[in-house]
Chain A
Amino acid sequence: MATVRVVVNGAPVVMNVEDHELLLDVVRDRLRLTGSKRSCDLQVCGACTVLLDGLAISACTTLAAEIDGRALVTVEGLADGDTLHPVQQAFVDHGATQCGFCTPGMVMSVCALVAETPDADAQEVREYLSGTICRCTGYVKILEAAAEVLARGDDAAKRDE
């Protein structure tokens, strides 16, 4: 058992977690932030991607006890009330979501991409997003959404990272 103090989507949280507890289970079952999804459970598909101190990580293979003192952002923490985060808005505008199960992880991956490599070219975007799988869209509209956010160079897109 460990006590972790984290900032989750801007709000401080103190929790006791078991040594074996995975961050994804804590986020989904205890914090009831079910936007982060479990699919492959092997750090391959990216559906559970969250931002830890601004870096994209897979919550399915991260121990909750390891995040003490850090800042966690999940997909629920991006929008400002009814105003969507620019990456979310680009996904809506470009039709970049279908079944939606990959979408939270994909949105978080694009947020991390924009923060890490704001001048990424098309090939770099594809390489970066190849860590997140989508079975529905064929990626075309996701890549369009990412390209639009990058092209705008919108400061707001980076505000959380």
Chain B
Amino acid sequence: MSDRLVGQRVARTDAVDKVTGKAVYTTDLTMPGMMHAVLVRSPVPHGMLRSIDVSAAESHPGVVATLVGAEIAHLEPYYGEWVLDQPPLAIGKVRFVGEPVVGIIAETERAALEAAELVELDIDPLPTLATVDEALAACETAIHPDRTSADPDLPNVCYRAQFEHGDVDAAMASAAYVHRAVYRFPGVSHYAMEPHACLAAWGPEGLEMWSGTQQPFKVRADLARIFKVPLSSVRVRVPYVGGGYGGKGQSKYEPVTAALARKAGRPVRLVVPIEDSFRTVRRHAAVIEMATAVDAGGALVARETRVLFDTGAYADKGPRVAKKGAYRATGPYGIPNFRSVGLAVYTNTIPAGAMRGFSTPQVVWAGESAIDEVAEHLGEDPVAFRLARLAQRGDPYLANDTPLDADLRAGLQMAADVVRWDTDVPAGRGRGVAVGVKDGGGGTGSSQAVVRVHADGSVEVLVGTSELGQGARTVFAELAADELRTSLAAVTVRFADTDMVPFDRGTNASRSTVAVGSAVVDAARRAREEIGAAVQVVWGNFEEVALDGATVTAGSQIGSLRTLLATARGVPETEVSAIVAHGSHDVVASDTPLGSSTLFYEVGHGAAEVTVDEETGVVAVVSYASVADVGCALNPVNVEGQDEGATMMGIGHTLFEELEYDGGEPLNTNLFDYRIPRAQDVPDDFHTLLLELADGPGPHGSKGAGEGGIIPVAPAIANAVYQATGVRIRDLPMTPERVWRALRDARSDPNEEK
């Protein structure tokens, strides 16, 4: 009926709910008889649990029950992604400040908080391994003594990944120039504005779990395994989620909340204070040692990288982060000889997991800074240097890899043009660029969708995607409506509910539009074919079939869908059941470096113009251009918004965000002390450009989006700071103090006392 919805600036289907306060999040849910839970957390970074005294807490008015780790040790309590090492409550020992040790269940949150003060923990301290350096040097202290270190030569290694091709050592030895440097990236917080929260209730049909999770089916599998119950008796439901960015992937508080509800025999809601969300998961801090070699002709011939990822006290997604970081460190330059090692190292700090970009911001920080340093050594312009060497469409990313599906040179040129790269830089300013490439989609995985077309023409889309704010429900509604030739208003996309929706691997790796979106289109197409088959039977022709509310049109014929289906099926109109169509999308294993073909490459280019105040060290981003190579913008407003948000999050880790520690004690796990970008931090001249070459595998040639923007921000700004000052910053964030010190060191006479 109408013009195609995709490609138009369609308002989000959930916008009205969100601006009126009607949107319901996990933290808003209540249930009759619901109890409130509070967790008592470890005050020490590392120690053996000697005893826990909950007697005073249990006799506090309003308290229903308490729970300690020893009570759940007989289950299968440990969870994680590849390495199952994290218990819902500490069992035997504690490994970071903030680790949950005791759960308190009470009639009110206040009573639970009061009782939490009465718990006495007796912990024998163990040596604190607060940093990667300390952990790798601590041969006598293992954070996980029951696990073998993943590196034969180093202790406390959770996971080791290596990618290698060609002869790196020979290429380095014969190179005309080898650039070597060490770069550091901070551990930063997701700070999703909605803290982690769960509501659990055990009933006759099993466990019902409400959670703002990005992976409801993974959580269901974990809960079934931990509590030794069938998958069919665990139901995970995801309402609106107040921000995720990776921090709500994996099981987080679902296991402990389910255990508390089981102990209490009542529904239990756990809403952790935001300070404890800070202490739940963070981005991996990283130390990136990188060597980049060029031959006499200036060709990039080798790169060797070693990345130490601080994975904190538990594995979470750290192993996969280390693998992907090692894979991505070599960069999109077709470098023929490379060796890249990624280590996820345990420390006595907040567990690190997935966060927007998933290791790429860390390794591209190093890689794109190093490219500028190499270009500088060769006396070449940074943009021209890249344009001459970037991999081209169809080239494998690494040897024997999925071919690149993007025009990197066109994207970089777009970004450079916005900051007028070819014009003179105003005095006191500097410009910089960077290219970010990330294999998108997250590897092997299955996504399914169900489309139901009811007899009145109303349409339901059932998918397992969590609505984190990325606008997935809107784009799925648009895709289904277009495929059925019906209106957006006719389509409802259901919230994820493992009892109702088909399997999906999870809302991560920018995969939903491509993978789940393709499944939605597949299902909607099958539904339309079924309508077409009824048209064929009843009207005897099969032309372009469209829905308009309850009406079907096919060529010149118009009729009611209900009547059409009743006639075709030979049933009364009162008994016309919905058309139910299934669609699917799978990424399967393949013989590529990652073990599966890459669904799409997510590409983000950045170009910055900055000023640096030499007196204060303040870096101001005057102008910033982000180019998002999205293939096709199915919803341009939403994809711009995703990229703008990603870029501003990148400005956060570039200029001010860092979780700080004193030994094992976190110092700034609150918004007084942890600096999130604000409206004032948006560059005055700020652009998001969409590169749409319809070269992606998703509907209409789309690719995933939402992570690309964050990747190039730090190196683009650091490269601009270098051009402005002649000083190279290799540690993030570029706080005024750090920049001021670097400038002072560079400007001072080395013979003078500092």
We find that the number of chain A residues with CB closer than 8 angstroms to chain B is 52
Q: Give the docked Cα–Cα distance between A29 and B203 (Å).
A: 25
B20, CB-defined interface residue at 8 Å: yes
B679 touches A130 (CB 8 A): yes
B242 touches A100 (CB 8 A): yes
The A-contacting residues of B in range 644-662, CB under 8 angstroms, are 644-649
Cβ contacts B668-690/A at 8 Å (1 or 0 each): 00111000111110100010100
B20 touches A101 (CB 8 A): no
A92, CB-defined interface residue at 8 Å: yes
Q: Give the docked Cα–Cα distance between A39 and B672 (Å).
A: 12
The A-contacting residues of B in range 198-250, CB under 8 angstroms, are 240-245
B27 touches A40 (CB 8 A): no
Question: Main SS of the interface on chain A?
Answer: loop
A34 touches B28 (CB 8 A): yes
A158, CB-defined interface residue at 8 Å: no
B25, CB-defined interface residue at 8 Å: yes
From B28, B274, B471, B646, A40 is in contact (CB under 8 Å) with B274
From B20, B194, B241, A35 is in contact (CB under 8 Å) with B20
Q: Which of A64-72, A139-147, A149-157 contacts B (4 or more CB under 8 A)?
A: A139-147
From A130, A141, A142, B680 is in contact (CB under 8 Å) with A130
Q: Which residues of B contact A136 (CB under 8 A)?
A: 243, 469, 641, 645
B20 touches A39 (CB 8 A): no
B676 touches A95 (CB 8 A): no
B20 touches A76 (CB 8 A): yes
- Output the least CB separation between B15 and chain A (Å): 4
Q: Give the docked Cα–Cα distance between A130 and B21 (Å).
A: 21
Query: A37-B242, A40-B671, A135-B193 given as contacts; is B468 within 8 A of A99 (CB)?
Result: yes
B195, CB-defined interface residue at 8 Å: yes
B14, CB-defined interface residue at 8 Å: yes
B359, CB-defined interface residue at 8 Å: no
Cβ contacts B20-45/A at 8 Å (1 or 0 each): 11111101100000000000000000
Cβ contacts B435-474/A at 8 Å (1 or 0 each): 0000000000000000000000000000000001111000
The B-contacting residues of A in range 53-103, CB under 8 angstroms, are 74-76, 78-79, 84, 88, 91-95, 97-103
B671 touches A100 (CB 8 A): no
- Least CB separation from B9: chain A residue: A95
Query: A101-B243, A138-B644 given as contacts; is B195 within 8 A of A92 (CB)?
Result: no
B495, CB-defined interface residue at 8 Å: no
Q: Which residues of B contact A40 (CB under 8 A)?
A: 274, 670-671
- Least CB separation from A94: chain B residue: B637
A133, CB-defined interface residue at 8 Å: yes
B489, CB-defined interface residue at 8 Å: no
Query: A130-B680, A139-B682 given as contacts; is B194 within 8 A of A99 (CB)?
Result: yes
- Least CB separation from A47: chain B residue: B193
A133 touches B21 (CB 8 A): no
From A47, A103, A140, B19 is in contact (CB under 8 Å) with A103
Q: Give the docked Cα–Cα distance between A39 and B278 (Å).
A: 12
Q: Which residues of A contact B25 (CB under 8 A)?
A: 37, 101
Q: Which residues of B contact A76 (CB under 8 A)?
A: 20-22
From B190, B193, B637, B640, A101 is in contact (CB under 8 Å) with B193
Q: Which residues of A contact B191 (CB under 8 A)?
A: 135
Q: Give the docked Cα–Cα distance between A76 and B16 (Å).
A: 12
- Output the least CB separation between A92 and chain B (Å): 4
Q: Which residues of B contact A107 (CB under 8 A)?
A: 19
A112, CB-defined interface residue at 8 Å: no
- Output the least CB separation between B478 and chain A (Å): 14
- Least CB separation from B16: chain A residue: A92
Query: A42-B670, A99-B194 given as contacts; is B21 within 8 A of A74 (CB)?
Result: yes
A135 touches B645 (CB 8 A): yes
- Least CB separation from B194: chain A residue: A101
Query: A42-B672, A93-B11, A139-B682 given as contacts; is B192 within 8 A of A100 (CB)?
Result: no
Query: A84-B19, A99-B240 given as contacts; is B641 within 8 A of A137 (CB)?
Result: yes
B193 touches A139 (CB 8 A): no
From B24, B273, B637, B688, A34 is in contact (CB under 8 Å) with B24
Q: Give the docked Cα–Cα distance between A84 and B320 (Å).
A: 45
Q: Which residues of A contact B420 (CB under 8 A)?
A: none
- Pick the most buried of B19, B190, B244, B676: most chain A CB atoms within 10 A of its CB: B19
A99 touches B644 (CB 8 A): no
Q: Which residues of B contact A38 (CB under 8 A)?
A: 27
A129, CB-defined interface residue at 8 Å: yes
Q: Which residues of B contact A44 (CB under 8 A)?
A: 671-672
Q: Give the docked Cα–Cα distance between A95 and B474 (Å).
A: 12
The A-contacting residues of B in range 610-665, CB under 8 angstroms, are 637-638, 640-642, 644-649
A6, CB-defined interface residue at 8 Å: no
B582, CB-defined interface residue at 8 Å: no
- Output the least CB separation between B113 and chain A (Å): 12
A161, CB-defined interface residue at 8 Å: no
B12, CB-defined interface residue at 8 Å: yes
A104 touches B21 (CB 8 A): yes
A100 touches B670 (CB 8 A): no
B-side interface residues toward A, CB under 8 Å?
9, 11-12, 14-25, 27-28, 190-195, 240-245, 273-274, 468-471, 637-638, 640-642, 644-649, 670-672, 676-680, 682, 686, 688
**Shortest 10 CB-CB distances between A and B: which pairs?**
A35-B21, A99-B469, A101-B242, A100-B18, A98-B469, A138-B644, A138-B648, A95-B637, A75-B21, A40-B671
13 residue pairs from A and B, CB less than 8 Å apart:
A37-B242, A39-B193, A42-B671, A45-B193, A92-B11, A100-B18, A101-B243, A127-B679, A135-B192, A135-B676, A136-B243, A137-B645, A141-B641
A-side interface residues toward B, CB under 8 Å?
28, 33-42, 44-45, 47, 74-76, 78-79, 84, 88, 91-95, 97-104, 107, 125-127, 129-130, 132-143
